[in-house]
Structure 1
Amino acid sequence: MRIVGGRFRGRALKTPSSLATRPTTDRLREALFNVLAHAYGDPADGAQVLDLFAGTGALGLEAMSRGAAFAIFVEEAAEPRGLIRANVETLGLGGVTRIFQRDATKLGDAMAGDAFDLVFCDPPYGKGLAEQALAGALKGRWLAPGALIVVEEAIEPGFVAPVGFTELERRLYDTTELIFLRVPE
């Protein structure tokens, strides 16, 4: 697994030793960031990024490689947090990232000044966790007005955007779909 674009393009990322963590593939990340660049005006550039269910941190790190200013990785499990830590260290991003050991569905209130304008939500597929996490992030004021959210989920059983989000589009990739949402201004 590698960073597919930006200043860290080609740099290898540490990957999980077990199947408990399912990183977003290089190919899907490349497709996602192409959509972001061409359909949404390259929102990674200068962004405050929130990576929910971060796993290896690949989505947030890809955004950092493409010009994001800051990223928080939210991951509850120990092995993936260790991978994120190692990947952040390898890329020299310690000063512009934070890792939160937290259940992404129970974020609570954001700290003052933490409002994110680009959010990745890649939960374990088919469990309704994305809906819970996004509803909690909105309630806890983690999301900036106009924030762009990308959900990676299995096509079945089907993601339903929580109240307070506007669905922009869906893109299908094999058995996975990317859902693009916006928080109203």
Structure 2
Amino acid sequence: MKQGKSIRPKKPSQTRQVRIIGGIWKRTPLAVIDSEGLRPTPDRVRETLFNWLTHLLDGRWSQVRCLDLFAGTGALGFEAASRGATQVLMVEHNTPAVRQLEQTKAKLDAAQVQIQRTDALSALQNAGTQNTRFHLIFLDPPYHLDWLAKTLPLCERLLETGGLVYVEAEFSLAEPDDGAELPGWMDGWQVVRSDKAGMVFYHLLQRQLT
């Protein structure tokens, strides 16, 4: 009589992680919870991005106030705080993700980080009514839901003069495919840096001088 194949027990799923790349918390792991739409910025992209930012900001991180919309794992916001940003406001609507952000903040004793559980539009509108200004806004929304069209125009009034907006998208904002025109919500914005990693298009935007 043939023996049936033994069934191996499934290995428990491993928690995914990303790591802070530079600054005082360099190499600190950040847990990536299993949640639909959560897409942390890859390490390689963050390394390039923060090289750009350090150059454009002339290394003056201690003067920078950041807004991290769609914060997710907090990889962008905690990276900025690690490098010396004086204030980082993280906005996230997903409750488990918010809990993870709060745990990370406590572990790092990151007093300069604030966490708001709310949606991006409410956060932008609230900041606008309070006349809050930021030098740097991270805008990394879920794809294919028109979040950029809804949020980028609201970012303009929250930026300090010469401020920067980091945008990740499923398409290029610098060189549209097939000669297509840029969407109307890009009017008045200049792409100062851009690149692509796999299917991720990432950019630094600044308001055009008039």
Measured against the shorter chain, the TM-score band is 0.7 to 0.9
Contact 1:50 1:118 in 2 (8 A): yes
Is 2:119 the counterpart of 1:103? yes
1:58 to 43, 66, 75: 75
Contact 1:165 1:181 in 2 (8 A): yes
How many pairs are equivalent?
A: 182
Matched residue, 1:124: 142
Q: Which runs of 5+ in 2 are unaligned?
A: 1-17, 177-181
1:5 to 2, 22, 30: 22
Matched residue, 1:152: 168
Is 2:180 the counterpart of 1:162? no
Larger fraction in helix: 2
Structure label with greater radius of gyration: 2
Three-state SS of the structure 1 residue aligned to 2:101 is: helix
Amino acid at match of 2:147: L
Matched residue, 1:176: 200
RMSD: 2.3
Shift of 1:164: 4.0
Contact 1:146 1:184 in 2 (8 A): no
Q: Which runs of 5+ in 1 are unaligned?
A: none
Amino acid at match of 2:85: A
1:23 to 40, 45, 49: 40
Contact 1:116 1:143 in 2 (8 A): yes
Three-state SS of the structure 2 residue aligned to 1:10 is: coil
Shift of 1:73: 0.6
CA–CA separation in structure 1 for the residues paired with 2:149 and 2:193: 16
CA–CA separation in structure 2 for the residues paired with 1:43 and 1:151: 21
CA–CA separation in structure 1 for the residues paired with 2:92 and 2:186: 21
Contact 2:81 2:113 in 1 (8 A): no
The share of aligned pairs that are identical, in percent, is: 32
* 1:47–1:154 CA distance, 2 compared to 1 (3 A): same
Shift of 1:124: 0.6
* 1:156–1:162 CA distance, 2 compared to 1 (3 A): closer
